[in-house]
A and B are shown apart, each in its own frame.
Chain A
Amino acid sequence: MPEALPEALPAAPGLAPLADQFSAAYWSAARDGTLLIQRCLACGRRQFYPRGHCAGCFAPDPEWTAASGRGRLHTYTVVHRTPNAEFAADCPYVLAIIELDEGPRVTARIVGETGAIGCDQPVHAVFTPAGDAGVLPNFALDAG
């Protein structure tokens, strides 16, 4: 089960997600500790990020489905310096691409212990309060 971390990331002013007809459900679910992806009713393809159609076959109206929150760290970078003032205070932070067990990839940070970080390590979703940005799904390395 996804766990909620007590630690809060600094909010990034002006970079809070702007919910729209396709993303409102996603951000709402994140506040409840659920990571949503979509599944195409025509071809079965699972996708992230959410859209009003399947990016594989262009069929309309894919359905929402809860992801397990489990996946593998496809790649990552430890950001030591950034030209973007909004994130300078966060440095160093780990920016990552996660491949979910369900298939799609998502962008997130790796939070918590990262001493033994490496590509393809198993990770699980955590949900981080982020001020104006609401709750951001992030990931942590599995223990052991």
Chain B
Amino acid sequence: MGEIKLTPEGNMAVSKEWENWMGGIAAQNKLVSPGMRLGNEGRTVKPGNVVTNGPYAEIKEIIGGLSIFRAESIEEATEMAKSCPILNVGGNVEVRDIIQMNG
């Protein structure tokens, strides 16, 4: 899919949706970090110190953001992901657990 273009009103509405979604998770005391939204510009560094413009040029999808929730299982986390506003504008949500690194 291509870039998600939104009108200013659309932007405001989406912002509100995001805030409500995050707020709802936070109200359950399951928000570890609202995380961040990632920009569309950037760089890719490959082995041999090769640097190219833009993120992941070969992949059609781009990671728009990252948030960290707390859940008892991947199933619960997946349920929480189902109300993510990105789904309303053609996006996907990847749900993965965080691997704790000890020591």
Do the two chains belong together in a single complex? no
Residues of A within 8 A of B (CB): none
Residues of B within 8 A of A (CB): none
